């Protein structure tokens, strides 16, 4: 008589979850049952290799890190498989199925690590060969130097591309992010040519930087001027005239008068608010 404890662990798992299916497919014959278990394990293997292995976390997909973190000969990668199963079990496969096939999975990963190491060694050997022959990749061949000499300076590029001549060719450039994610440097004075150009900056953190900004804005005028000058000095525009492009004019002073205190009259020629006794 086969008791529950004497059955293989994977048989207990499949028997518990698919008892009706198992009886229908095998007729409770031991040989057919064993063949059915083997087919189930192969199905799980294919699922693991074809679907879950490419979706491993980044640190596990890095084969070099895997080789440094786990001892393949001891087959302790089953712990990694267990972690994947418990946290990212999308297909509902049994942990026992993974653990039963840990040796095959380990060999597969070990083979992949070996292939990666061979590629790395080939790269190292190629680098050593270049060092022995004295080949310097930073030296541009003469036939390619002519192409680089034909590159136009920034002033000529902007003149030919936009039909504009830079008034301040030595001024700072702005980094513009295009819609496709690429970045390009353009002269700052082109903001006048393109008035609708969207200019963005890094977002400030809600807790710290926004609180500091509000505190600075609520400061007295003397301190606000000090903050402004400090910021201008930090970005390099502390001068009142930067390359004849950015100009800071003197503050405008307005002459004001002090108004007399208003006199409010109500009905019956009463001034101010009537008292509660009059009401």
Q: Give pLDDT tens digits for 119-129.
A: 666 666 666 55
- Between 114 and 7, residue with greater pLDDT: 114
0.75 surpassed by pTM: no
The whole-angstrom separation of Cα 123 and Cα 119 is: 6
For position 142, what pLDDT does the model report? Answer: 43
**Lowest mean per-residue pLDDT among 53-57, 62-66, 160-164, 209-213:** 62-66
On the question of pLDDT at 255 being above 80, the answer is: yes
On the question of pLDDT at 59 being above 60, the answer is: no
Is the Cα torsion angle 232, 238, 244, 250 positive or negative in sign? positive
Helices (H), the chain: 9-17, 19-26, 30-47, 58-61, 63-69, 78-87, 95-100, 102-133, 142-149, 154-162, 190-193, 209-217, 221-235
């Amino acid at each position: 008589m086969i008791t529950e404890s004497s059955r293989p662990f994977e048989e207990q798992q499949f028997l518990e979850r698919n008892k009706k299916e198992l009886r229908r497919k095998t007729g409770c014959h031991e040989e057919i049952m064993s063949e059915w278990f083997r087919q189930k394990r192969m199905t799980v293997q294919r699922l693991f290799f074809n679907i879950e292995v490419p979706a491993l976390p980044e640190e596990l997909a890095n084969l070099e890190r895997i080789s440094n973190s786990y001892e393949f000969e001891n087959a302790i990668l089953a712990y990694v498989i267990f972690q994947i199963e418990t946290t990212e079990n999308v297909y509902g496969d049994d942990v026992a199925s993974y653990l039963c096939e840990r040796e095959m999975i380990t060999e597969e990963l070990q083979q992949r690590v070996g292939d990666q190491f061979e590629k790395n060694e080939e790269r190292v050997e190629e680098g050593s060969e270049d060092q022995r022959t004295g080949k310097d990749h930073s030296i541009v061949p003469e036939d390619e130097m002519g192409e680089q000499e034909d590159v136009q300076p920034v002033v000529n590029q902007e003149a030919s591309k936009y039909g504009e001549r830079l008034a301040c060719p030595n001024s700072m450039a702005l980094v513009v992010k295009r819609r496709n994610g690429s970045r390009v440097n353009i002269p700052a004075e082109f903001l006048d040519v393109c008035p609708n150009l969207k200019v963005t900056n890094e977002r400030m953190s809600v807790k710290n930087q926004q609180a500091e900004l509000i505190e600075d804005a609520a400061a007295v005028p003397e301190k606000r001027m000090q903050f402004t000058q400090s910021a201008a000095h930090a970005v390099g525009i502390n001068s009142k005239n930067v390359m004849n492009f950015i100009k800071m004019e003197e503050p405008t002073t307005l002459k004001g008068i002090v108004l007399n205190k208003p006199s409010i009259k109500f009905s019956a020629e009463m001034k101010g608010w009537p008292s509660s006794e009059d009401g």
